[in-house]
Structure 1
Amino acid sequence: MPPSDFKRVIAESPYVFIIGVAGDSGSGKTTFTQAIRAIFGEDLVSTITIDDYHRYDRRERKELGITPLVPEANRFDLLEEHLEALKAGKPIAKPVYNHDTGVFDPPVPFKPTKILILEGLHPFITPKMRDLIDFKLYVDPDPEVKRAWKIKRDVEQRGYSPDAVIREMEERKPDFERYVAPQCRFADAVIKVAFSKYGREASEERNVYHVTLCQSKFERSIRDVDLSIDLFGILSLSQRNFMVEFTTEDVGGTAMGALAFDGELNYAVVRKLERNIEIQTQVQPISLVQNGAYLTAGDMAQLILAWRIINRRIFIEGAPEATGNGGCGCGRR
């Protein structure tokens, strides 16, 4: 069993647990760690974006004819130094890249929380960064989904024109395929997102997508795991389309189990799953949606991914009744 009052255990532990989230710009990296933020709260969870560690500002990159996806356009040496300090519980002076102006603002003081999320294009690019990260997630939306998301974000939040966003995506594509996409082979989990099989309108109007959670094999886990979905609830309560499918997929040369969801599922069906996670982790309450609402496929993937991350964190404390050889539950490097 996990330690009782696991939030308190994390808060009192000296260990800084780092979650790395890799993916292209506009790929939805922040979305799939929202459950961790919701469960543990901002007192325990903070985020660093790798964009802050660009070596050149927007004008300099244009003059040099390079994109930020090229490793040489980033200060990975400084990022490694800062991650090492944060892992040791030490504060840093974090650089700040301003997306509105395209230049750097003055550095800001940054203190590590007990759960640190590192998001960006290259969190797994160097062996040292991979070694400092405890859980690695790669987010991989289909090209058409990524295109729609990035246009929406950059037009609404960053003031770009749709034509400028599309042009930039085409310019960045070779560097993405060369430097960012191969990082999926280091991931403990890969999220794939496609437009819903129930129609693109469901995705664009109700945020309903076909979401696949690919996971490496568990090295160790909490005993008596019960992550069941209430079949009776599906048959009696659900009035909207929903699909669950399990396959195996090759991800960067590694076979992963792929659990796919699509559509919307009544909250009552998933409440048992939430409750079981609460019991297993002693993290309460876990409530990502309001009673009576419907969860999307993305919500389901977030919930299961959160349980997987919590499971990894539990073994850093050394759960005596855990299966496996004990010790830190670190994944593939």
Structure 2
Amino acid sequence: MSKQHPIVAVTGSSGAGTSTVKRAFEHIFYRDGVTPAIIEGDSFHRYDRFAMREAVAEASKRGENLSHFGPASNLFNELENLFKSYGEHGTGKKRYYLHSEEEAAEHNARLGTNLGPGQFTPWEDIPSETDLLFYEGLHGGVVTDEANVAQYVDLLIGVVPIVNLEWIQKIHRDNAERGYSAEAIVDTILRRMPDYINYITPQFSRTDINFQRVSTVDTSNPFIARDIPSPDESFVVIRFRDPKKFHIDFPYLLSMLHDSFMSRRNSLVVPGGKMGLAMEIILTPIIEQMMGERNR
């Protein structure tokens, strides 16, 4: 961990709501004039989109499960090395995973390359003079026998809906945005389950702050749900591992977030529609504290 070059990581599986946290941090960075080095978790996958399909097929022939959640398809050591390098010197290497034609066109224009969706850009140096490293992806707090990414993170945020809600969000997103059938999506969920249990879930015991969305409607069979529960049909449970670490003022939070309440001594519950507001109110003083310590 580093006061001079702090690292903030947001971890959660795809479709869990990490983009909501990312937007909250973008607002904080803009208002406070913070320049982040932004790292996308997808850029540390081992395979591009086409090679991953082949690797999954080969693993299936061997009776093995290969998924983006596990170490076999990710560069955990390289991610750990980046966090270590940035914490010590404010430097490191990054690249981008191109999700769409638009992203490919943007980076091709910048780099003079001819890459397409599903490919990686070449590795490049993180810009100098950044204030902190901001990671958003699957493995910001991952620990394995070979790699320990979590040890270098100064603020680790977890975003995880209850599992049935997570599945509903994934089924709807992959069907609407990627055209996958419900059967194919369920097959993917099942294939990923061992890695989800071993490498994703344990991270949420290491997070400094965890945001868990809990629906207030029946999600007992996520595979037949017609709609994703709306924010107004849910609560968000916010758990602080050590409230003293970041000087969490619960009376202040309760006064600022209408209809919120404490469920345990370290857990705050807020209406689902106030999730973004809660994130900004909670995280702004933490980032300002980090920047104050960095400047001193």
Conservation of the 8 A alpha-carbon contact between 1:209 and 1:298: no
- Aligned partners of 1:223 and 1:192: how far apart in 2? 18
Normalising to structure 2: TM-score of the pair? 0.72
In the other structure, the counterpart of 1:125 is 142
CA RMSD of aligned residues (A): 3.6
Letter in 2 for 1:64: A
Identity of aligned residues (%): 25
Q: Does 1:217 align with 2:242?
A: yes
In the other structure, the counterpart of 1:247 is 263
In the other structure, the counterpart of 2:53 is 59
In the other structure, the counterpart of 2:268 is 259
How far 1:139 moved relative to its partner? 1.4
In the other structure, the counterpart of 1:276 is none
Normalising to structure 1: TM-score of the pair? 0.65
- Aligned partners of 1:149 and 1:183: how far apart in 2? 20
Q: Does 1:104 align with 2:98?
A: no
Letter in 2 for 1:219: K
Conservation of the 8 A alpha-carbon contact between 2:24 and 2:279: yes
Letter in 1 for 2:69: L
Conservation of the 8 A alpha-carbon contact between 1:135 and 1:312: no
Number of equivalenced pairs: 258
How far 1:213 moved relative to its partner? 0.4
In the other structure, the counterpart of 1:170 is 190
How far 1:260 moved relative to its partner? 0.5
Conservation of the 8 A alpha-carbon contact between 1:48 and 1:118: yes
How far 1:312 moved relative to its partner? 5.0
Q: Does 1:24 align with 2:41?
A: no
Distance 1:311 1:107, change over 3 A: closer
Distance 1:115 1:201, change over 3 A: farther
- Aligned partners of 2:35 and 2:81: how far apart in 1? 22
How far 1:304 moved relative to its partner? 3.6
Structure 1 gap segments, 5+ residues each: 1-13, 235-241, 249-255, 264-295, 320-333
In the other structure, the counterpart of 2:105 is none
In the other structure, the counterpart of 1:89 is 90
In the other structure, the counterpart of 2:110 is none
Letter in 2 for 1:215: F
After superposition, the C-alpha distances for 1:105-130 in whole angstroms (9 at most, x for unaligned) are 43355326313221222222236422
Distance 1:109 1:161, change over 3 A: farther
Larger proportion of strand: 1
In the other structure, the counterpart of 1:305 is 282
How far 1:226 moved relative to its partner? 6.8
How far 1:135 moved relative to its partner? 0.4
